[in-house]
Amino acid sequence: MSTPSVITVNNAGIRFRRNHKGRRSLKDLFGSKTRRSKPNEFWALRNVSFTVAPGEAIGVVGRNGQGKSTLLKLVANVLIPDEGHVQVHAGVAPLIEITGGFVDDLTVRDNVYLTAGLHGMTREQVAAKFDDIIDFAEIEDFLDTPYKHLSSGMKVRLAFSVVTSLEEPVLLVDEVLAVGDKSFRNKCYRRIEEMLGEGRTLFFVSHNEGDLKRFCTRGLYLDKGTLKLDGPIMDVINAYNEDYPGL
Ligand SMILES: Nc1ncnc2c1ncn2[C@@H]1O[C@H](COP(=O)(O)OP(=O)(O)OP(=O)(O)O)[C@@H](O)[C@H]1O
């Protein structure tokens, strides 16, 4: 019997507009409906298909602007594909933007309760974990500070600590760790290893080869919005380095 997949992405595509003020051409306005294209639209991702088994650790690589964050947002259900399907059969803990969905004017304390609550944790469950979350983030002196007044490093600490405390089977980490200092990064790495040890599924976007090799067994290489290679992480890193030596 084959292992059930936790994520299935089938021919997914997503379009964005390059310029919100883009004007339609006369051809667009008067041309036949099928020929009409919206101004400045482009496919950020197209024809992307893959499945993920529970417990896999996947590194997503590619140059800037090739669709890595967009792919994570599809998996997190923050974006809906314009073509194809994305099915995720488990809860997702997304660390995909530094802001992590936190509310600027709420305090650190309220943001912890809000974010954890949105992921289905009860007040009691959050209370039981609250001190650990704050200890890990090392921001005990800022509990009543509005989130917007934290430094960018402190925001990353808080986001990482909260998101990795959620009891979701899938963890998405998008480069945010690059902002933290070295000792905090090491703490984060240990926590990611613990989570992998518990059998969680990881999607990890990084430009750091060492980190990719450390955590990931499989790689997805995105280039110009298409999935150029899906394979063992070393094959993916080598293919990327061959295409773009010196990057
Ligand atoms: N909401 C949006 N509206 C319009 N264009 C967008 C939007 N989000 C992303 N894009 C565009 O889609 C493309 C892919 O962006 P994405 O952030 O997924 O790239 P990336 O591979 O994660 O890049 P990086 O390594 O720089 O983080 C880029 O051209 C980007 O400008």
| For the chain, the helix, strand and coil percentages under 3-state DSSP, each to the nearest 5 | 40, 25, 35
State residue 22's pLDDT score.
46
Residue 13 CA, ligand 1 centroid: distance in Å: 13
Residue 18 within any structural domain of the chain: no
Q: Which residues pair with 50 in a beta bridge?
A: 9
Distance of alpha carbon 132 from alpha carbon 112, whole angstroms? 12
Residue 38 within any structural domain of the chain: no
Residue 93 within any structural domain of the chain: yes
Helix (H, G, I), strand (E, B) or coil at 112: helix
Residue 30 within any structural domain of the chain: no
CATH classification at residue 217: 3.40.50.300
Answer yes or no: is pLDDT of 31 > 70. no
**pLDDT tier for residue 109 given thresholds of 50, 70 and 90:** very high
- Structural domain boundaries enclosing 158: 54-243
Residue 127 CA, ligand 1 centroid: distance in Å: 37
Give how many domains the chain has, as a whole number: 1
Atom number in ligand 1 closest to CA 62: 21
Residue 65 within any structural domain of the chain: yes
Residue 188 within any structural domain of the chain: yes
Q: What is the DSSP string of 29-58?
A: HHS-TTT---TTEEEEEEEEEEEE-TT-EE
Which among 236, 233, 216, 226 is positioned nearest to 9, based on CA atoms?
226
Residue 41 within any structural domain of the chain: no
Residue 25 within any structural domain of the chain: no
State residue 245's pLDDT score.
84
The pLDDT tens digits for 151-185 are 988 998 999 999 999 989 999 998 877 677 888 88
State residue 98's pLDDT score.
58
* Ligand 1 site-directed mutation target among 45, 69, 174, 247, most atoms within 8 Å of CB: 69
